[in-house]
A = this chain, B = another copy of it.
Amino acid sequence: MNVLIVHAHPEPQSFCSAMKDLAVTSLGAAGHAVQCSDLYAMQWNPVATAADFTERSDPDYLVYALEQRHAHARQALAADIASELDKLLWADLLILNFPLYWCSLPAMLKGWVDRVLVSGACYGGRRFYDRGGLVGKRALLSFTLGGQAHMFAGEQAVHGELELLLRPLLRGTLAYVGLGVLPPFAAYHVPYIDAAARQQLLDDYRDYLANLDHLPLLAMPALADFDRLLHPLHNEVPA
C-alpha cells in the first residue's frame, strides 16, 4: 500500500508530531511505501491565489475551481500543487494528521485541501461521492485535541457528536472526492495528560494503524439515491 501522510503542527516536538512519526515508522515496518508532507517543515503556502496557475482560462476574472480544472488539463498548476497532487494520486491511503483547531483543520492544512484537491483531478461535474475522482483510495483523520471523549459522545454532549462536528471533513471533503473514509482516530485531552497516558494513546494509534483493513468505512451518500438534479429519490435519511 502507498501511504501519504499530510502533517501540520507548528511544534516539531509535539505529541501530534510523534503520532506522525509513529505512522511513518510503523506503516513502513509493515511493508508499505510511505511519503510524508510535513507542511510546516515545507513552509507550505496555504493561500489559494491566481498565482496557482501558470496559464489561465480567464486571465481577467478568477473562478478558482474553474481555473483548477483548466490548469489540470493543461498541466499548468503551480509546481508546489502539482507535486502534492502527484503524491495524492500515488497514494492508496491518505492520512491527515493535525491538531484540531476550532473543530477543523489548522489553516496550514486547510490550505493543502483548498489547493491540492484539484477540480478535474479529484472531482468535477458529476464526479463526486461514490463517483469522485479518488474512488478506490481510502483516507483517515488522526488528530489531537484538548477536549475529552465524553464532550463529543453523542448529541446530548456539550459539543455534540464528534462525527457530526467533523462532517465537513469526513463527508464534505474526503467522501466528496470519492475516498473511502475510515473512522477518525482522536487523541483526546492531550495537553492535560501524563506521559503514561500519552504512551497509551500512541499504543492505541499503532494498533489502529495495524488494523485498518478490519475497520468498516463510514457510511456516505451514493449518487444512485439521487436524481440527475440531485434531489433525493427516496425520503430516507442517509446513514
Contacts and interface: CB of A to CB of B under 8 A. Distances in A.
A231 interface: yes
A64 B146 CA distance: 12
A62 B11 contact: yes
Interface stretch (A23-31, A132-140, A159-167, A211-219): A159-167
B111 A232 contact: no
B102 A150 contact: no
Q: How large is the interface on A (under 10, 10 to 19, 20 to 34, 35 or more residues)?
A: 35 or more
A235 interface: yes
Contact of A150 (B64, B157, B158, B230): B230
A184 interface: no
Contacts of A172: 102-104, 159, 165
Contact of A238 (B13, B103, B156, B232): B156
Interface string A76-120: 000000000000000000000001011111111011011001000
B10 A49 contact: yes
Nearest to A190: B63
A236 B102 CA distance: 25
A18 interface: no
Interface of A: 10-11, 13-14, 40, 46-50, 61-66, 99, 101-108, 110-111, 113-114, 117, 129, 146, 148, 150-151, 155-160, 164-169, 171-173, 176, 191, 221, 223, 226, 229-232, 234-238
29 contacts: A10-B64, A14-B62, A40-B47, A46-B47, A46-B111, A47-B107, A48-B101, A48-B107, A48-B108, A66-B191, A101-B113, A101-B114, A102-B110, A102-B172, A102-B173, A103-B168, A104-B110, A105-B110, A107-B107, A107-B111, A108-B111, A110-B110, A150-B229, A150-B231, A151-B230, A155-B238, A164-B167, A165-B172, A166-B168
